[in-house]
Structure 1
Amino acid sequence: MSAPAIELELSAPVNLRDLGGIRIAGGTLRPQLAIRTDDIAYATREVAQQLVGSGLAAVIDLRSPAEVATTGRGPLAEFPVAYHNLPLISDVSRSTPKGAEGFTHEAMGRMYLDMVENSAAQLVTALNIIAYSPGTTAFHCAAGRDRTGVLAAMLLLALGASDEDIVADYALTGQNMRAIMERNRPVMGAMWRALGMDFSKVDTSQLLSGSMDVAMEMMLGELRARHGDPLAPLRAAGLGEDTIQRLSERAVQR
């Protein structure tokens, strides 16, 4: 992979958490199966060592090609960890909310629905990686909120978690939003400049107010309204019962 497009200042993730302990069908999700996080491409080497030492076997990078080109893989590239780039948004400049609405929780919910319906194949691949990796899988985007939240929701749905618990996990990111924005500011600015856009004019202030729950509740509600089964788009893209069974065998802690 080519070198990062900017000089990165390595820092610890500010939105990293293990999904262990969430209620799923048959028990709770065991720790060290799946970790969700903000961008670990520029995590410190110490963080990389800690993750690998704790059993990290695979990384699922949900970022777009432009984002990957900006930061590369970082210190984790030095370790024997499988890497999978599965973009849920191929072109972030085209997918950015436009107009007066800007970045609202409602706009995010509509974007999440679009990801599930139009990037179902990538989500199915991600679930198979989690199901069959020999250790822990970490998945991330930039903030660890939106694309990461969608994959977390699909994993939890496949494992039989309730909508309430899926929303609760998603909403935990709210307390980290200011730290996420501060950590990502240099990287996002560089990426937007490379795309010919001025990141300073992108208004994300509304994401710091109100309830984050709205976005995930909207996505789950719309999936049920449109498809009945919220996993229907993934099933149509190849998600089989064998994968769900394998996930359950690995995940359930009674």
Structure 2
Amino acid sequence: MANAPLPIAGTWNLRDLGGYRADGGSIRPGAFYRSDALARIGEPGRAQLAELGIARVIDLRDDSERAFAPDDVDGVTELLAHPIFPSAGAHVARRLDVFSLTEIIYLEHADTLIEALRLLGGGAGDLRPAGATLFHCTAGKDRTGAVAALALLAAGVDRDDVVDDYVASEANLRGAWLEAHLELVRQRGLEITPEIRGLIGSTPARAIENALDAVETRFGSVRDYLRAHGMTDAELATLHAAFVA
């Protein structure tokens, strides 16, 4: 079962990744958080992030998204921008659905995903601040979901748990968050089709299952996929050590 969202002001999909069983232990609680954007958290949300011990925020959004809704995280020790790919708006324009988008993330954006994993894992040359790391995109479901899934699978978390973690975003975003973002699409003069609604707010199990099946068919395993795109065994070990206790 996926971890429940934390009641952090201005967020809908902020979750601790800790607690899942992994190779040699379990994912450290309170060490890594995944989230939707942090643009509207205000002073109450900033205080809550401080209480969680979050010292590093990795923003996976593109330049236009960050300019439109910059993170409100004054007081965080380190804020890093690491875009994975263009925003969902670009994919709406391409008329993708959530299934094709999810597979594209894994198969066409492996290099930026792996760089995100390197940021999470750290290493001898990474002078990261002491404390927890939070990573996010706009919804906290596609780009964030891919980074979370790869990190968890590389750490040896069961695939069913990883799928559950991905699927949980849909329920968390349902309601006010989803309706606000659909309204932004309407303001661009676009009709809200089932495909667009799904692209913005859905996380069906079949989307990540299909993407992981494609990865495993082509590369054999997620770890082999990471190796094929330049991640070394030493980096995998460092990532595992960062996540697993």
Shorter-chain TM range is 0.7 to 0.9
Partner of residue 19 from structure 2, selected from 10, 18, 21? 21
Answer yes or no: is 1:183 the counterpart of 2:177. Answer: yes
Identity among equivalent positions (%) equals: 29
Match of 1:143 in 2: 139
Higher mean alpha-carbon deviation, 148-157 vs 88-97, is at 88-97
The alpha carbon displacement at 1:140 in A equals 0.9
Match of 1:85 in 2: 81
The alpha carbon displacement at 1:44 in A equals 2.4
Answer yes or no: is 1:153 the counterpart of 2:149. Answer: yes
The alpha carbon displacement at 1:96 in A equals 2.3
Cα distance change, pair 69–187 in 1 and its aligned pair in 2 (3 A): farther
The alpha carbon displacement at 1:89 in A equals 1.9
Cα distance change, pair 192–88 in 1 and its aligned pair in 2 (3 A): farther
Answer yes or no: is 1:123 the counterpart of 2:113. Answer: yes
Match of 1:248 in 2: 240
Answer yes or no: is 1:170 the counterpart of 2:166. Answer: yes
> What letter is aligned with 1:14?
W
> What letter is aligned with 1:213?
A
Q: Tell me, which stretches of 5 or more residues in structure 2 are unaligned? A: 1-7, 123-127
Q: C-alpha distance in 2, partners of 1:15/1:92?
A: 17
For normalisation by structure 1, the TM-score amounts to 0.79
Q: Is residue 15–residue 37 contact of structure 1 (8 Å, CA) maintained in 2?
A: yes
The alpha carbon displacement at 1:52 in A equals 2.3
Q: C-alpha distance in 2, partners of 1:115/1:210?
A: 15
Q: Tell me, which stretches of 5 or more residues in structure 1 are unaligned? A: 1-9
- Count of aligned positions: 231
For normalisation by structure 2, the TM-score amounts to 0.81
Q: C-alpha distance in 2, partners of 1:90/1:161?
A: 29
What SS class does the counterpart of residue 172 from structure 1 fall into?
Answer: helix
Q: C-alpha distance in 2, partners of 1:69/1:85?
A: 12
Match of 1:59 in 2: 57
1:163-199 Cα offsets, whole Å, 9 max, x none, are: 11110111222321313xx236546755885xxx335
Higher mean alpha-carbon deviation, 128-137 vs 54-63, is at 128-137
Q: Is residue 15–residue 34 contact of structure 2 (8 Å, CA) maintained in 1?
A: yes
> What letter is aligned with 2:140?
G
1:213-239 Cα offsets, whole Å, 9 max, x none, are: 111111111111122122444323332
What SS class does the counterpart of residue 222 from structure 2 fall into?
Answer: coil
